[in-house]
Structure 1
Amino acid sequence: MDVEPALIFVLAAVAVVVVVRWVAGRTGLPAAALLPVIGIGYAVLPGPNIPLDPDLVLAFVLPPLLYSAALDSSMIAISRNLRTVVSLSVLLVLLTALLIGLGFAWFVTGATLAAGIAVGAAVAPPDPVAALAVGRKVGLPPRIITLIQGEGLLNDATALTILSVAVAAATGDRFSAPAALGRFLLAAAGGVAVGALTAFAVRLLSRPLSGDPIMANAVSLATPFCAYLLGEVIHVSGVLAVVVAGLIVGHHTPRSASGAGRLQTNAVWRLVDFLLEGFVFLLIGQQLPAIIRGLAGYDTATVVVAVSIAVGVTLLLRPLWLILTLLVPAALHTRWSGDSTAGTTSARWTAREVAVLSWAGTRGVISLAAIFTLPLVTEAGADFPARDLLLFCTVVVVLVTLVGQGLTFAPMVRTLGLRADDNDQALLRNQARAASVEAALTALDELQEQHHDDIGDEMIETMREQLRARLSRYRDRLSLLRDNDSADVPISPQYEAALHVRRVAIDAQREEFLRWRDAGRLPDAGLRVLERELDLEERLLPDRPARR
């Protein structure tokens, strides 16, 4: 094996991903939309390309990405919006696959219903990476973010199950609607069970390993692969198993993991997401030239009709489906109010919410990985019906949604003016902070009563004064937030000045440590310990003080 060209290619890809991320951060354009365009540009140049291996993507790329997204999601928020999430991730995926299948069977020469449903299943599940990246940057309301996250977590399992049934029908297995439904329900129920079992095992390991962040991270990195492998071995949805495991583990992590473990785990998964997503979106663009070469046996009219059906149904059905939700009785619209006192209320979707969710349906790597799993020949030895055409339609849908919708999503959200109420969110966070300090003061009172002889009053009083000072700051901040009539968080000059003073002090301490190291008075091992203390303290300071 020639290692040097492969190493050069990997380093070049990392450089491209880093540069695109830098450009995206300064222009507001989503990296997920820019990288496929660069991939296409590279693919047309002379030199080697990397073909997309669907088995590799499904087994080694998809599980960690889904697991990381599940860890970052809210099981409570998704459960509060479960009707809508199921509507988008199950019912809409089923309907999309069926309509595209019927369109191909009726209007595309050489395509069968099963082949059409296969491509429909591949393009049905949106990939939320681009939409979430933009949505968080422009400040979409938490409910919209939750729905995009929840849909993206669950729709892959639906799509892959439909695809497997369609491929079985297209390659010669006898198709039965009741049997297909039973297979779907069994795969879903089994996937949930496997995910819950995996999460239970991880929780058992978490407590004894909580004191060693390295070992805890090793378990965390292995978890999605274990869940996926176990699901696939017993022939249930490995994808759903990964998602369920991630949601449960993420929900219990605040209790089961140590602070040091959580900090390190978050950093590790952010790096995994950054690299995997970057490589994947580069690979998407590289597949186009090879797929176009496979269209030599199709006339232009057939290609145009097939692409029009795939793109048309994908783009039009989603807003139509969401608009139908406006006609559903209000009791079925479970809405999360997001404040500290309310749970759920009944309210209808607004037109702006429907518009934003409609344009958030970007497709990505799961669509390409799914369609590439189509076999070359059927069991009877014949070519799979219109396979090259199905590949091309899928790539076009991915590029149209990923690039077209991805690049226009942020301007659309800004035009509609749909954004989170930053003041309400800051108010809720500061209420929680104040409540936590009050709980700590109560705990100190109980500690003083129970262990008065073991712990000195002076030590407890010192901690109590620190907590009271912190509580006073939080209450002052709450007063400012409550009196604010704007959706934007009010700027507090005193608060910002305090942050600036603390940053100056941390920088001065860090420089003094370096002077000691450079003078030979402090070994590098000691420097790293002291730097970590300052880094953790600096990590507590907000990036944007006004959002506190």
Structure 2
Amino acid sequence: MEHQVLLIVGAALAIMIAASVFSRRTGVAAPLLLVGLGIGASYLPGAPEIEIGPELILAGVLPPLLYSSAVNLPVIDFRRNFRLISWLSVVMVIVSAVVIGAVVHWLFPAISFPLAVALGAVVSPTDAVAATAIGRRVGLPPRVMAVLEGESLVNDASALVVLRTAVAGIAATSSFSLGRTALEFGWAVLGALVIGGVVGWLTVLLRQRLDDPVLNTTISFAVPFIAYFPAEELNASGVLAVVVAGLVTGALGSRRFSARDRQNQATTWTTFNFILESGVFLAMGYQLPALVDAARGETTAGELTGLVLVVFALLVLLRFIGLAGPALRDREENKEEVRTRLDQFEEKLDSLTPADDREDARITSARRRLARGRADIDFEEREPITRRGFLIIGWAGMRGVVTVAAAHTIPVGTSHRATVVLAAFLVALITLVLFGLTLPAVIRRMRFPGESSADRHDAFRALLRQVGEDAIDNLGPLESQTIDGEPIDPQLVTKLKDRILPRVLAGVRDAPSIRPDVMEQTVILQLRYLEAMRDALSAERGIGAYSSHTYRKVEAMLDDMEKRLDAS
């Protein structure tokens, strides 16, 4: 039996890799390939029957899957698009789940209202993986991709919270109460925010103090489960706690982790995410024939077809209706009024005279908020979401791995469970086929203006120059610095100012040769300036005058410099 399990795992990994390579070369969505290969594998002679329990999906697959997405999401993009992301991923998820639940229960009375709401919750979250992969290839604006990624992350958590309360309603002996569901939803969200934030913060502090890549990677693997299980024990949302922990880790890790730890984390979770997502679709395809057989005993082919078409039509209709409000609101906003308020706020700050250090710190913090407000307005004017952008956001409403995985968490033994799980899978499959295959052509049809490589390079050099100047301003002149209380040798100061430091601040990779007797002092000083540049980058990122891509590029360059200096 052990040999058979190892054979299945090895064959599954080989199929995942082959499907990914074929997808990249042909443009066919990898989930579709995996589902098809899974179906084919289920008909092979001697193919074993595999039963995946809901507990394994809910506690073993979804936490690391959501954490891997959250930890890599740029916080600046999430903040700037928070209003639209929260509208799509929280409000529209709840509305979609309830509307779909009500309509499905009305048209198919055999499906109870709680189970119908569970179906609505399962199919409501979008999956941005395929959409963003296509978008990067054909020139989708970065802000539209940021909205899709942020929506996909948060709506996974909110949909699973709704699913949790709906499943509780299925198990309840009394009738389903919308009021009770709302209260449970509120506590699930509030408790998850607190638990996820605390877990993320504490684990970042612990990993910051460890200088061991093995231990850091091990803790990184444990974080989603450390957040999930305590939240579940307190009747909060474990999956939302995982998302919050991931966002906190990603935000703090950019400043508190070493370059090596950040690189290890990115590689580890990208690999883990690939295996989990591919495995879920492959397993779903493998189980599909058995699921179809089970559904035949509960409903007819006509009823199942009607159910799938009704749910799909409602999803498309609700999504475009939900996007109409933000699209009209954004067009009506007057950015000049916001600029006027910011100018008035600046005049008020200029008139203030700090009486002590505390007031001076408050004024400095207020000026930073002012700069961030101006940067946000500039960003809105530089990268607005036009009607074409909203159309793409609506067209990119594909369902994916979370829909497939979450459907399996509906308790076994529930009446019409197989019908609902199969319907959810077929809806996800239709969206992947219909929207996934047509999205590239729709994006090309929109003809979005692209940012030139020269503009990206200029932004990179400008940000790098700014953080370098800030580092020099913060540390002061080289002549005034000391190492272990001793002044620096004048000849080394001259060499650093004329040859070495300009290369560090400019990000030049090839460092000049240095005599061994001054190497240690040179490395210490370079690391000192590099640390100051990281502080300046973190402060500038808090303002947000540049794109997240530019911040990542400068951070990657600083990481590369840090690794080379550590190896010196």
Q: TM-score of the superposition, structure 2-length normalised?
A: 0.76
Q: What pairs with 1:168-187 in structure 2 (closer than 5 Å)? A: 168-171=168-171, 172-187=173-188
Alignment partners' CA distance in 2, 1:43 and 1:403: 22
Name 1:456's counterpart in structure 2: 489
Q: Give the residue type in structure 2 aligned to 1:449.
A: S
Contact 1:32–1:406 (Cα < 8 Å) also in 2: no
Confirm or deny that 1:27 pairs with 2:26: yes
Tell me the secondary structure at the aligned position of residue 319 of structure 2.
helix
Name 2:190's counterpart in structure 1: 189
Tell me the secondary structure at the aligned position of residue 198 of structure 1.
helix
Contact 1:52–1:369 (Cα < 8 Å) also in 2: no
Name 2:38's counterpart in structure 1: 39
Alignment partners' CA distance in 2, 1:333 and 1:260: 45
Contact 1:68–1:273 (Cα < 8 Å) also in 2: yes
Contact 1:217–1:264 (Cα < 8 Å) also in 2: yes
Q: Give the residue type in structure 1 aligned to 2:436.
A: G
Structure 1 residue 471: Cα displacement: 6.1
Name 1:112's counterpart in structure 2: 112
Q: What pairs with 1:367-446 in structure 2 (closer than 5 Å)? A: 367-377=403-413, 384-418=414-448, 420-423=450-453, 424-442=455-473, 446=477
Structure 1 residue 278: Cα displacement: 1.9
Alignment partners' CA distance in 2, 1:141 and 1:460: 46
Structure 1 residue 444: Cα displacement: 6.8
Deviates more, 1:70-79 or 1:245-254: 70-79
Structure 1 residue 153: Cα displacement: 1.6
Alignment partners' CA distance in 2, 1:169 and 1:333: 45
Contact 1:33–1:130 (Cα < 8 Å) also in 2: no
CA displacement, residues 394-423 of structure 1 (integer Å, 9 cap, x when unaligned): 110111123332333333323322365244
Alignment partners' CA distance in 1, 2:412 and 2:394: 34
Query: Structure 1 residues 147 and 313 mapped into 2: Cα distance closer, same or farther (>3 Å)?
Result: same
CA displacement, residues 493-522 of structure 1 (integer Å, 9 cap, x when unaligned): xxxxxx9xx9xxxxxxxxxxxxxxxxxxxx
**Of 334, 338, 343, which residue of structure 1 is paired with 2:376?**
343
Alignment partners' CA distance in 2, 1:376 and 1:147: 35
**Structure 2: any 5+ residue segments left out of the alignment?**
336-371, 511-555, 562-568
Deviates more, 1:178-187 or 1:283-292: 283-292
Name 2:145's counterpart in structure 1: 145
Contact 1:30–1:133 (Cα < 8 Å) also in 2: no
CA displacement, residues 170-210 of structure 1 (integer Å, 9 cap, x when unaligned): 3433432222111111100110001111012113213311x
Alignment partners' CA distance in 2, 1:225 and 1:137: 34
Confirm or deny that 1:294 pairs with 2:324: no
Q: TM-score of the superposition, structure 1-length normalised?
A: 0.79
Q: Give the residue type in structure 2 aligned to 1:367.
A: T
Contact 1:125–1:363 (Cα < 8 Å) also in 2: yes
Tell me the secondary structure at the aligned position of residue 295 of structure 2.
coil
CA displacement, residues 83-134 of structure 1 (integer Å, 9 cap, x when unaligned): 1111111111112112221221222251232221111111111122222322
Contact 1:207–1:257 (Cα < 8 Å) also in 2: yes
CA displacement, residues 346-404 of structure 1 (integer Å, 9 cap, x when unaligned): 67742211221112222123223322222344xxxxxx343222122111011112333
Contact 1:32–1:129 (Cα < 8 Å) also in 2: no
Query: Structure 1 residues 425 and 62 mapped into 2: Cα distance closer, same or farther (>3 Å)?
Result: farther
Q: Give the residue type in structure 2 aligned to 1:432.
A: L
Deviates more, 1:50-59 or 1:438-447: 438-447
Name 1:203's counterpart in structure 2: 204
Contact 1:228–1:242 (Cα < 8 Å) also in 2: yes
Deviates more, 1:450-459 or 1:149-158: 450-459
Query: Structure 1 residues 272 and 473 mapped into 2: Cα distance closer, same or farther (>3 Å)?
Result: closer
Contact 2:230–2:238 (Cα < 8 Å) also in 1: yes
Deviates more, 1:48-57 or 1:386-395: 48-57
Q: What pairs with 1:33-432 in structure 2 (closer than 5 Å)? A: 33-46=32-45, 47-171=47-171, 172-209=173-210, 211-297=211-297, 298-328=299-329, 330=331, 342-344=375-377, 349-377=385-413, 384-418=414-448, 420-423=450-453, 424-432=455-463
Deviates more, 1:389-398 or 1:94-103: 94-103
Query: Structure 1 residues 373 and 457 mapped into 2: Cα distance closer, same or farther (>3 Å)?
Result: same
Q: Give the residue type in structure 2 aligned to 1:124.
A: S
Alignment partners' CA distance in 2, 1:41 and 1:168: 36
- How many residue pairs align between the two structures? 473
Query: Structure 1 residues 442 and 459 mapped into 2: Cα distance closer, same or farther (>3 Å)?
Result: farther
Query: Structure 1 residues 139 and 426 mapped into 2: Cα distance closer, same or farther (>3 Å)?
Result: farther
CA RMSD of aligned residues (A): 3.1
Name 1:6's counterpart in structure 2: 5
Contact 2:54–2:410 (Cα < 8 Å) also in 1: no
Query: Structure 1 residues 238 and 327 mapped into 2: Cα distance closer, same or farther (>3 Å)?
Result: same
Alignment partners' CA distance in 1, 2:143 and 2:33: 27
Identity %: 33
Structure 1 residue 329: Cα displacement: 5.8
Structure 1 residue 446: Cα displacement: 2.8
Structure 1 residue 313: Cα displacement: 1.3
Tell me the secondary structure at the aligned position of residue 192 of structure 2.
helix
